[in-house]
């Protein structure tokens, strides 16, 4: 690095383009501890306000990838594919998607993250499973992928450690929404996993970080362009996040929802549509399906015949969880002592959700973090959400609060009093799949 850390911050603060060597040096310092948390926070804020060029974003992504080990899979002859979501409320897709795609013949080494802001984190959900190791050794990670076809884990100390530090800092410094920082954070982990292809689920709507479709499209184009610029074949699917995706939001409650989905006991329609669409795109990108329709059909088959549920159960067991988790998940998951219905105050049709507020209510219950060091209460959350367009009667349950105390229930009741809109007129459903952005569309 030719510049001191504070000079890198100053240059970006003043809107200058950073040299790749200075970006690399700053990230190396962050990894080694010679760049402090305050400096990293200042850097993140400078990038938040002044952005980065495509070349800077590629350099940041590669520097974060190279801050630790970069895996390769020389002894595997199956496609190595993964997916990443930019985050939403009730977004437990990864838990079902990885075993579905593995059941179709791919390998899915999925490096996931913890909750950011109002969105839930896949690792926090998996921590609900007793014994499940979200930070395994590289040897256990590799063995799990080879034996089961997939492994959903977090960043170990050896994979993109610079991102792990910056990820936690962004969460508590209001810099989560920065497109270059999101891009580098997502892609550094994926590149470190040694993927052959990647499909991105970019959320748009009031429960997403990006908000409207144009902002979502901007992020999708950035991700696709930077990923392909870094040598990873990538496409993106824009999806709707104007209502909770699953009918549950929290940690253990979303794991329970995922197991019900995999076993066919309950499959929320929007959740099924997006899960199978992403699976289809992954199969196409890995050469396992001729087109999206064929991929959708193949993914549906392995879901409906129980093969995906079997793989999920085996993955949980190899990574330290209960061997009978799929069959007895409710016996293993911690539950909240209070489950209370929140009822409709009038007749009508569900017209919309303030989805971000729902996510923040889960955080307020203890199901998320306000500081990086905060513990997460895996038992609390919200369940029973009904899709937009559903007709309800006064007094009918709109959702349930899973809480530790009556005070928590009343807190949620107050916070979410206006987070769900009921209309006197019939309301239609909104499509969950908005558009797909291929590599050639990103530039």
pLDDT of residue 439 exceeding 80, the answer is no
Report yes or no on 371 lying in a domain. Answer: yes
Instruction: Tell me whether strands 233-240 and 338-343 are parallel, antiparallel or unpaired.
Output: unpaired
84: annotated active-site residue = yes
Give yes or no: 235 in active site. no
How far is it, in rounded angstroms, from Cα 30 to Cα 38? 11
Q: How confident is the model over 333-388, as pLDDT tens digits?
A: 999 999 999 999 999 999 999 999 999 999 999 998 777 677 899 999 999 999 99
Same domain, 43 and 132: no
pLDDT of residue 12: 97
Q: How many CA atoms lie within 13 A of 367 on its CB side?
A: 38
Note whether 128 and 272 are same-domain residues.
yes
Residue 419 pLDDT > 90: yes
pLDDT on residue 372: 67
Alpha-carbon gap, residue 272 to 68, rounded angstroms: 36
- Is residue 71 in a domain? no
Q: Which residue of the set 170, 332, 357, 402 is catalytic? A: 170
Q: What is the mean pLDDT of the chain?
A: 93
More confident position, 336 or 2? 336
Residue 443 confidence class, pLDDT cut points 50, 70, 90: low
Reference 295, options 84, 45, 106, 71; nearest CA is 106
User: Phi-psi bin for 393: left (phi > 0), alpha (psi -120 to 50), beta?
Assistant: beta
Find the mean pLDDT for residues 25-46: 95
Residue 116 has pLDDT above 70, yes or no: no
Q: What is the pLDDT of residue 157?
A: 66
Check which CATH number belongs to the domain holding 173 and give it: 3.40.1030.10
Question: What integer pLDDT is reported at residue 1 of this predicted model?
Answer: 62
The active-site residue, picked from 12, 164, 165, 189, is: 189
Q: What are phi and psi of 420, to 5 degrees?
A: -130, 125
CATH of residue 349's domain is 3.90.1170.30
Are residues 348 and 315 located together in one domain of the fold?
no
Residues 224 and 96 in one domain: yes
pLDDT band with cut points at 50, 70 and 90 for residue 219: confident
Catalytic residue among 84, 217, 357, 402: 84
- Clarify whether 357 is annotated catalytic: no
Whether residue 136 is predicted with pLDDT greater than 80 in this model: the reply is yes
Catalytic residue chosen out of the listed positions 12, 31, 66, 82: 82
Confidence band of 94 (pLDDT split at 50, 70, 90): very high
What is the number of domains present in the chain? 3
For the entire predicted model, the pTM comes to 0.87
Name every residue whose Cβ is closer than 8 Å to that of residue 74 and which is 6 or more positions away in sequence: none
Tell me which residue of 199, 115, 178, 39 sits closest to 371, measured CA to CA: 115
Residue 65 in any domain: the answer is: no
Question: What's the Cα-to-Cα distance from 337 to each of 239, 258, 360, 381, rounded to whole Å?
Answer: 35, 21, 21, 12
> Is 189 noted as a catalytic residue in this protein?
yes
Per-residue confidence at 396, pLDDT binned at 50, 70, 90?
very high
Q: How far is CA 245 from CA 120, 259, 272, in A?
A: 12, 15, 10
Check whether residue 119 and residue 137 sit in a common domain.
yes
Average pLDDT over residues 200-212: 87
Output the domain CATH number for residue 11.
Answer: 1.20.970.10
- The question of whether 85 is a catalytic residue gets the answer yes
CA–CA separation, 136 and 133 (whole Å): 6
pLDDT band of residue 253 (cuts 50, 70, 90) is very high
Band (105; pLDDT cuts 50, 70, 90): very high
| CA dist., res. 227 & res. 242, Å (int) | 27
Same domain, 159 and 38: no
Cα separation, 381 vs 247, whole angstroms: 11
User: What pLDDT is recorded for position 442?
Assistant: 56
pLDDT at 210: 73
User: Is 83 marked active-site?
Assistant: yes
Please indicate, yes or no, whether residues 167 and 231 belong to a single structural domain of this protein.
Answer: yes
Q: Which of 24, 67, 85, 383 is catalytic?
A: 85
CA-to-CA distance for 393 and 396, rounded, in angstroms? 5
pLDDT at residue 15 above 70?
Answer: yes
Q: In what order do the strands lie in the sheet with 420-423?
A: 391-392, 348-353, 420-423
Of 12, 65, 83, 217, which one is the catalytic site residue?
83
Q: Provide the domain limits for residue 184.
A: 81-329+433-441
Pick the catalytic residue from 86, 94, 122, 239: 122
Please check whether residues 122 and 188 belong to one and the same domain.
yes
- The length of the chain, given as a count of residues: 443
Answer yes or no: is 428 within a domain.
no
Picking from 60, 80, 92, 35, the residue whose alpha carbon sits closest to that of residue 185 is 60
The arithmetic mean of pLDDT across residues 192-208, rounded, is 92
Q: Check whether residue 145 and residue 17 sit in a common domain.
A: no
Same domain, 304 and 366: no
Is residue 82 annotated as a catalytic residue, yes or no?
Answer: yes
Residues 350 and 205 in one domain: no
pLDDT at residue number 47 = 97
| 59 in a structural domain | no
- In-domain check, residue 126: yes
- How far apart, in whole angstroms, are the C-alpha atoms of residue 322 and residue 312? 12
For range 95-124, the mean pLDDT: 88
319 and 383 in a single domain? The answer is: no
In a domain, 74, yes or no: no
If one compares 132 and 119, the residue with the highest pLDDT of the two is 132
Taking alpha carbons only, the member of 420, 272, 275, 250 closest to residue 336 is 250
- pLDDT confidence of residue 208: 86
pLDDT score at 117: 65
């Amino acid at each position: 690095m030719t510049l001191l850390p504070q000079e890198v911050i100053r240059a970006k603060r003043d809107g200058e383009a950073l040299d790749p060597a200075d970006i690399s040096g700053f990230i190396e310092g962050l990894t080694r501890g010679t760049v402090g948390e305050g400096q990293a926070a200042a850097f993140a804020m400078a990038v938040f306000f002044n952005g980065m060029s495509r070349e800077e974003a590629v350099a940041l992504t590669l520097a974060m990838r190279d801050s630790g080990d970069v895996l390769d899979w020389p002894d595997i002859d199956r496609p190595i594919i993964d997916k990443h979501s930019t985050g939403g409320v009730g977004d437990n897709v990864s838990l079902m998607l990885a075993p579905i795609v593995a059941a179709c013949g791919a390998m899915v080494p999925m490096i996931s993250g913890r909750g950011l802001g109002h969105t839930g984190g896949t690792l926090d959900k998996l921590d609900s499973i007793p014994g499940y190791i979200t930070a395994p050794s590289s040897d256990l990670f590799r063995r799990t992928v080879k034996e089961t076809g997939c492994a959903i884990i977090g960043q170990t100390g050896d994979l993109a450690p610079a991102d792990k530090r910056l990820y936690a800092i962004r969460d508590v410094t209001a810099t989560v929404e920065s497109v270059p920082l999101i891009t580098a954070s997502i892609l550094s982990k994926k590149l470190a996993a040694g993927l052959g292809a990647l499909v991105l689920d970019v959320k748009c709507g009031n429960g997403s970080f990006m908000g409207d479709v144009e902002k979502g499209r901007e992020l999708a184009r950035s991700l696709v362009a930077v990923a392909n610029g870094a040598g990873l074949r990538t496409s993106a699917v824009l999806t709707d996040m104007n209502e909770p995706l699953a009918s549950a939001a929290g940690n253990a409650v979303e794991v329970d929802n995922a197991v019900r989905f995999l076993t066919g006991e309950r499959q929320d329609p929007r959740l099924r549509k997006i899960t199978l669409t992403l699976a289809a795109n992954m199969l196409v990108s890995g050469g396992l399906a001729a087109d999206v329709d064929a991929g959708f059909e193949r993914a549906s088959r392995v879901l409906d015949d129980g093969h995906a549920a079997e793989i999920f159960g085996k993955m949980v067991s190899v990574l330290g969880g209960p061997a009978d988790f799929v069959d007895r998940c409710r016996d293993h998951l911690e539950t909240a002592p209070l489950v209370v219905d929140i009822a409709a105050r009038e007749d009508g049709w569900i017209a919309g959700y303030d989805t971000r507020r729902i996510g923040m209510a889960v955080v307020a219950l203890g199901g998320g973090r306000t500081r990086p060091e905060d513990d997460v209460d895996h038992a609390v959350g919200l369940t029973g959400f009904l899709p937009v367009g559903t007709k309800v009667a006064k007094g009918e349950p709109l959702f349930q609060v899973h809480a530790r105390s009556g005070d928590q229930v009343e807190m949620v009741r107050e916070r979410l009093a206006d987070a769900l809109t009921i209309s006197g007129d019939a309301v239609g459903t909104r499509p969950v799949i908005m558009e797909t952005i291929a590599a050639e569309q990103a530039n």
